[in-house]
Structure 1
């Protein structure tokens, strides 16, 4: 088998950006999957769910994640140095009832979710999984929504990961998904692993042939038009930063779309906000900004989403409207404004920095998020962000940690602040700090002593992320500390309650 990663094509990446998932398949043999399935049955029957020890307990699973189809898909979406998260879970489904729609947690649900693909999941099916066996269902395009803007009983809206053994779903971490009904009552396993990006994109990491965004030739009927959002994500993955304000479409139609944005039908309003965003400066000159600013308060989330990203393409007046909406008392409106500001470029930095001082927790979190997404453009905000590491709110502190790592400079000041955060009283702040330090790599060498201390943390994920940070720092001191930790904590995959010592 060729071990070279099989990178995704432009069209596959576009589908992933728009729909939030891809269904792919390995070419491992049926005999391999049968052996893996037998081991799963034995482990679950005799020992229960191995939880985070799934990978060492059933070592053959590692071969799945070394398969070039999977490494290629993950490299394409998350970059070449992606991280396998310490949390993993083998889902077992024999329920005749479907599960509830949900998004997975980031150690709770208070962290602001990413529109850019920072995190992804692999859901792997080791047995033939027809629709009657209850595969995972996903709502295409819903990774951009905080609310469920779909009819739960609409079968055309749901996509399922049914297929032969070796089928896997690559999903954007924030997509709405569920388990479907297992009508056969037979064993159905799904092995879920989480992966994270450790590098901000500098260039495309997939098989990139076409520079510009092209709307996919076929999309699920559940997917609404969010072309401004998709283009911005495509550009972000390509290493571009800041708004692309080039008008796309016929500017003479701007008044038509302004009128449609005020119609009763929410789907028509969402489509109009999308078209005005594509028109960019032409829509601004036609007077679209006040109407789009009102649309930020629309009752239908897809309208608010398109309005926020549309304003990001309209220069200083659009940024001003977003900064005003950031202060809105409705946290959903404030958050959508932050998404728009995260795509607004350097012109948003001063206003976002000022918003950090506002006092309301959600506004501070949203402003810190947007500054982090602006990366090095937000360097002037670093002193204000560092000052928030003593804030009484845990979400403010872990949002600040993530923003500082994304900005990355001035390095010495940021690393010193992150060393402080590794000793934060809240485990989620410590968890996020270790994870984010991994993005800095060797530049964070000064944090090695604090990371070594974190290897003794009471929380399993703080320990795991400290170990990952040492790996990505990669200096001799970091590697020596990591090897010492791994030797002490090595885990025997053959030791079970039925076989504690021999053979």
Structure 2
């Protein structure tokens, strides 16, 4: 196996990830390792069924995969060095001679507004040789930015298949459109899916970066549409330059009017490009986006929010005022955009905190995530997230744990409250509370963490056929 230092992605690989939403890579484990891993999977799936979230402790050798410098380096490049492995994971078994439908993964059955910036990523790992005939995962390049399916089912010529030798994996943007393909051989085919999250805003490039400025990848594959401003802004954001494109284009009133009309376009890529361009055209462009944020068509309002999320300080006052809207969609979209603006939106934290008593759980869900992303003033953010740990809505509770992972030791005040929710009925409330304790990392947090992990420790070799001996 390669050395222990993470093998970071290159500038060219990061350009591909930004534009196409995936990178295909391969580990260098031996064939013996993969054969043994696949044998264990066959035994577990045959005798016990799918282990679900217990996939990693049940197949302990899998941890070596995620410790591999190629995978660690790829995740570090996209999500930063403090990335988190989510407690949800799943082993997909496919022996079906028909393709699955195109889809985006949900958030374990829950809903949230999807990020264009790479806050989330997914590893799809193939432990066996996976030729095209065995049914690898199909990926549609560049579709991670689209809520709607903007391509036809018959556009297979543009589909990318994650096929290859054992040890191949696809690192994908969490929101890319993908599907299973037909297993024509009828043999065992496993795809082990693990989710990962960024826990902090980027402050500098975390890949093997040599070029400061954005450039298109050499072999650009954008079968649906190009998004030059969106791609450049994402590169800058990953480099630690939040709001870097605001006011970079002239305030042309005629062009702003034309772009504002394009926000209503039925073809989502056109509307997205208009939103991102308006965000670069000074206060006139921002005002057009703020007006669209109020639109009764939820699609138009959502598209406007993406533009406002990159508009920098010009958008803060208008977004904060939009929190008073009577339209639920306007409020949730405004909250989302403020969260994406990070520390630039710190002045809005008090108003966001007021929304934690909002009667709609949809609003409260968006607020809790944005508070963690903004992060300051710390005392206000932490007190708000502690309140969210006790919310009646389960999604608010588990998102509060995730939000606290962003704060590190600054979230220490939440430790006793996190300890309380370790008895919650929901697995993700408990799982995210454990992660929050780990990232807070104080002695008190570690003591709570060790106690609960010892009390709930899981024996990876105990099965229905082997309960205690040998």
Task: Give the TM-score taking structure 2 as reference length.
Answer: 0.98
**Which residue in the other structure is 1:122 paired with?**
123
Counterpart among 313, 321, 328 of residue 346 in structure 1: 313
**Does residue 177 of structure 1 match 2:170?**
no
**Which residue in the other structure is 1:492 paired with?**
459
Indicate how the Cα distance of structure 1 residues 410 and 196 shifts in structure 2: closer, same or farther if over 3 A, else same: same
CA-to-aligned-CA distance 1:36-60 (integer Å, 9 cap, x gap): 0000000000000000100000101
Q: Given that residues 150 and 157 in structure 1 are in contact (C-alpha distance below 8 angstroms), is that contact kept between their aligned partners in structure 2? A: no
**Which residue in the other structure is 1:407 paired with?**
374
CA-to-aligned-CA distance 1:373-422 (integer Å, 9 cap, x gap): 11111112111100110111112101101111111111111111111110
Indicate how the Cα distance of structure 1 residues 464 and 49 shifts in structure 2: closer, same or farther if over 3 A, else same: same
**Which residue in the other structure is 2:338 paired with?**
371
Q: Given that residues 252 and 281 in structure 2 are in contact (C-alpha distance below 8 angstroms), is that contact kept between their aligned partners in structure 1? A: no
Counterpart among 294, 299, 318 of residue 285 in structure 2: 318
Task: List aligned pairs for 1:272-311, cutoff 5 A.
Answer: 280-281=249-250, 284-285=251-252, 287-311=254-278
**Superposition deviation, residue 123 in structure 1:** 0.3
**Superposition deviation, residue 300 in structure 1:** 0.6
**Which residue in the other structure is 1:388 paired with?**
355
Q: Given that residues 296 and 305 in structure 1 are in contact (C-alpha distance below 8 angstroms), is that contact kept between their aligned partners in structure 2? A: yes
Tell me, what secondary structure is at the counterpart of 1:194? Answer: strand
Tell me, what secondary structure is at the counterpart of 2:97? Answer: coil
Tell me, what secondary structure is at the counterpart of 1:455? Answer: helix
**Which residue in the other structure is 1:57 paired with?**
58
**Which residue in the other structure is 1:190 paired with?**
191
Q: Given that residues 427 and 462 in structure 1 are in contact (C-alpha distance below 8 angstroms), is that contact kept between their aligned partners in structure 2? A: yes
**Superposition deviation, residue 241 in structure 1:** 1.3
CA-to-aligned-CA distance 1:136-161 (integer Å, 9 cap, x gap): 00110000000011121112221110
1-structure distance, mates of 2:123, 2:222 = 24
Tell me, what secondary structure is at the counterpart of 1:287? Answer: helix
Tell me, what secondary structure is at the counterpart of 2:305? Answer: helix
Q: Given that residues 243 and 313 in structure 1 are in contact (C-alpha distance below 8 angstroms), is that contact kept between their aligned partners in structure 2? A: no
Task: List aligned pairs for 1:470-485, cutoff 5 A.
Answer: 470-485=437-452
**Which residue in the other structure is 1:424 paired with?**
391
2-structure distance, mates of 1:143, 1:194 = 15
Tell me, what secondary structure is at the counterpart of 1:452? Answer: helix
Indicate how the Cα distance of structure 1 residues 223 and 216 shifts in structure 2: closer, same or farther if over 3 A, else same: farther
**Superposition deviation, residue 108 in structure 1:** 3.5
**Does residue 446 of structure 1 match 2:413?**
yes
Task: Give the TM-score taking structure 1 as reference length.
Answer: 0.92
1-structure distance, mates of 2:246, 2:410 = 34
1-structure distance, mates of 2:111, 2:299 = 13
**Superposition deviation, residue 9 in structure 1:** 0.3
1-structure distance, mates of 2:183, 2:95 = 6
CA-to-aligned-CA distance 1:409-450 (integer Å, 9 cap, x gap): 111111111111100011100010001100001001001110
CA-to-aligned-CA distance 1:93-135 (integer Å, 9 cap, x gap): 0111101111111244531000000000000000000111100
The unaligned stretches of length 5 or more in structure 2 are none
Task: List aligned pairs for 1:72-151, cutoff 5 A.
Answer: 72-108=73-109, 110-151=111-152
Aligned length: 469
**Which residue in the other structure is 1:257 paired with?**
none
Q: Given that residues 131 and 160 in structure 1 are in contact (C-alpha distance below 8 angstroms), is that contact kept between their aligned partners in structure 2? A: yes
Q: Given that residues 110 and 395 in structure 2 are in contact (C-alpha distance below 8 angstroms), is that contact kept between their aligned partners in structure 1? A: no
**Does residue 437 of structure 1 match 2:404?**
yes
Q: Given that residues 123 and 172 in structure 2 are in contact (C-alpha distance below 8 angstroms), is that contact kept between their aligned partners in structure 1? A: yes
2-structure distance, mates of 1:489, 1:361 = 41
1-structure distance, mates of 2:263, 2:109 = 27
Tell me, what secondary structure is at the counterpart of 1:359? Answer: coil
2-structure distance, mates of 1:176, 1:438 = 28
Indicate how the Cα distance of structure 1 residues 346 and 214 shifts in structure 2: closer, same or farther if over 3 A, else same: same
**Superposition deviation, residue 285 in structure 1:** 3.4
2-structure distance, mates of 1:301, 1:243 = 24
2-structure distance, mates of 1:478, 1:355 = 38
**Superposition deviation, residue 287 in structure 1:** 2.8
1-structure distance, mates of 2:221, 2:406 = 34
The unaligned stretches of length 5 or more in structure 1 are 248-279
**Which residue in the other structure is 2:11 paired with?**
10
1-structure distance, mates of 2:224, 2:210 = 25
Tell me, what secondary structure is at the counterpart of 1:325? Answer: helix
Q: Which runs of 4+ in 1 moved over 4 A?
A: none
**Superposition deviation, residue 220 in structure 1:** 2.2
**Which residue in the other structure is 2:209 paired with?**
208
2-structure distance, mates of 1:359, 1:202 = 36
1-structure distance, mates of 2:354, 2:222 = 47
Tell me, what secondary structure is at the counterpart of 1:481? Answer: helix
2-structure distance, mates of 1:192, 1:167 = 13
Q: Given that residues 98 and 180 in structure 1 are in contact (C-alpha distance below 8 angstroms), is that contact kept between their aligned partners in structure 2? A: yes
Counterpart among 426, 437, 443 of residue 459 in structure 1: 426
**Which residue in the other structure is 1:43 paired with?**
44
2-structure distance, mates of 1:395, 1:4 = 42
**Does residue 337 of structure 1 match 2:304?**
yes
